[in-house]
Amino acid sequence: KAGVTQTPRYLIKTRGQQVTLSCSPISGHRSVSWYQQTPGQGLQFLFEYFSETQRNKGNFPGRFSGRQFSNSRSEMNVSTLELGDSALYLCASSLEGGKYGYTFGSGTRLTVV
């Protein structure tokens, strides 16, 4: 079965711009989570959507937002980009979350200049 697909793979944006990242989960998975990975902070949780509803939220500013569509595909948006937003953004999908575990995508590498 197809894995978790994230697009685009690479992005270069200018400070102050906004960006939208996309994630297509494994077919049948209803939970989609987003993480930010940086060398200094490791993997930090952004938010999780389950059946189109935000179920969990991490400790990120309101510039970071997301949504999930009826087909479980998810998007995250970052507005007013800052240099510190440069990171690998990972999407993970799960049947229902919890003990079922999560399958990760390859990520979107965002560089803010």
Partner 1 sequence: AQSVSQHNHHVILSEAASLELGCNYSYGGTVNLFWYVQYPGQHLQLLLKYFSGDPLVKGIKGFEAEFIKSKFSFNLRKPSVQWSDTAEYFCAVNSGYSTLTFGKGTMLLVSP
Is 112 one of the binding residues for partner 1 (CB under 8 A)?
A: no
Is 96 one of the binding residues for partner 1 (CB under 8 A)?
A: yes
Among 49, 64, 89, 102, binds partner 1 (CB under 8 A): 102
Residue 64 near residue 46 (C-beta atoms within 8 A): yes
CB atoms within 10 A of CB 87: 21
- State which residue, 72 or 81, has the beta carbon closest to partner 1: 72
Among 49, 105, 108, 110, binds partner 1 (CB under 8 A): 105
Is 89 one of the binding residues for partner 1 (CB under 8 A)?
A: no
What are 39-47's contacts with CB under 8 Å, separation 24+? 43/90, 46/76, 46/89, 47/76
Residue 90 near residue 76 (C-beta atoms within 8 A): no
Among 17, 56, 71, 80, binds partner 1 (CB under 8 A): 56
